[in-house]
Amino acid sequence: MKLNLNRPLAFFDLETTGVNVGADRIVEIAILKAMPDGAELIKTMRINPEMPIPLASSLIHGIYDKDIANEPAFKDVAAELAAFIGEADLAGYNSNRFDIPVLLEEFLRAGVDFDMSDRKFVDVQNIFHQMEQRTLRAAYKFYCDKDIINAHSAEADITATYHVLLAQIERYSDTEFEDKQGKISKPVKNDVDALHTFTNMNKPVDFAGRMVFNDQDQEIFNFGKHKGKTVEQVFDTEPSYYAWMKQGDFPLYTKKKLEEIWTRWNKKKEQLKQEKQQQAVANKPKPNPGPNPNARPNPSAAPQKKSKPAVDVTNDMLEQLKMKFGK
């Protein structure tokens, strides 16, 4: 099937250092430009983001700092990319919420006027989500081929949820799934532990997703300027961030987990301080004790006479001796 186009439609996808639109940068961009005559033009570039790529992001897209060390910065290729896109409309997957905003940020930093006023935007994910709805009603119809009677009552909804899970286990019991790292497994099993692992792939710390566990089971921030950094690392460099979150509009459970990490971090800090003090005492040179002022004298020990310095004999001294002894 050929797209009915009046002008080119540029499908594009970005790999980035993270998902913070304002702070993160592009590390790879791929553009497929569909032309009205059916031709397809493709351009792919790796970009040096001029900032470290967090490990959590590299594990997803497979691009590490060493891979882009010698690649151009976005500002060096911005004009070329803008010219390639030209007057084309834009398309992507989740592009309206992420790819387009990130691309515009990069163009603005590079000083390139990428006019958006007359472009159309096609987000393929939105078509998918709206046509294949992810509501409980849609799931019950899809998996059980039934309609919920008295929908939105708690008992009807929870009964439907229970039957949907039973149908999912039966449907996917032998179905392979490939994760973002390319690992293939059959994760949907009639086993609560396995279902827990599969349905909590982001490993949240606080359930609101503000903090998640990384691959080393360390708590990392999942939002804001410190996204991707461990919580304890942020406490080391900016301890006031703890107070900001505690006073901010965050869920109570998020604050509870944050306080637990803060308490643990402080205990580690105090323990390290004590260990350093103990080490300093152990390494301190011992003073020379000298004579003991409280020691008792030994009566058998002969008294020590103070020796006088030797004096040269002079003629005057001899004359005084003669006069004294009459010689």
279 pLDDT band, cuts 50/70/90, is confident
pLDDT at 286: 73
Amino acid of residue 152: H
Looking up tokens 């998902």 gives 19
CA–CA separation, 45 and 70 (whole Å):
12
pLDDT at 259: 95
153 pLDDT band, cuts 50/70/90, is confident
pLDDT at 63 over 60: yes
229-236: Cβ within 8 A, 24+ apart: 229/54, 231/258, 231/261, 231/265, 232/261, 232/265, 232/268, 235/261, 235/262, 235/265
pLDDT at 321: 66
pLDDT at 318: 66
Task: Locate 263 and state its tokens.
Answer: 């308490």
What is the three-class DSSP state of 162? Answer: helix
Mean pLDDT of 117-129: 88
pLDDT at 180 over 80: no
Q: Give the range among 200-204, 237-241, 281-285, 304-308 with minimum mean pLDDT.
A: 304-308
The terminus-to-terminus CA distance of the chain in angstroms comes to 147
Mean pLDDT of 104-127: 90
Q: Which helix (H) or strand (E) holds 46?
A: strand 40-46
More confident residue, 45 or 325: 45
pLDDT at 310: 59
pLDDT at 296 over 70: no
147 pLDDT band, cuts 50/70/90, is very high
Q: For the chain, what percent of residues have pLDDT higher than 90?
A: 55
Q: What is the pLDDT of residues 197-256, one digit of tens each?
A: 888 766 788 878 889 998 899 999 999 999 999 999 999 999 999 999 999 988 888 998
Ordered by where they begin, the domains of the chain are 9-128 (3.30.420.10), 136-199 (no CATH), 202-280 (no CATH)
More confident residue, 224 or 313: 224
Phi, psi of 225 (to 5 degrees): -70, -20
Q: Which pTM value belongs to this model? A: 0.58
73 bridge partner residues: 48
Considering just the CA atoms, what is the radius of gyration of the chain in Å? 39
Mean pLDDT of 142-171: 89
Amino acid of residue 77: V
Task: Locate 66 and state its tokens.
Answer: 């060493």
CA–CA separation, 85 and 32 (whole Å):
9
Mean pLDDT of 63-90: 96
Q: Which of 5, 11, 15 is nearest to 33 (CA)?
A: 11
pLDDT at 72 over 90: yes
Mean pLDDT of 19-35: 92
Mean pLDDT of 9-38: 93
Phi, psi of 6 (to 5 degrees): -90, -25
User: What mean pLDDT is reported for the chain?
Assistant: 87
Q: What is the pLDDT of residues 80-115, one digit of tens each?
A: 999 999 999 999 999 988 999 999 999 999 999 898
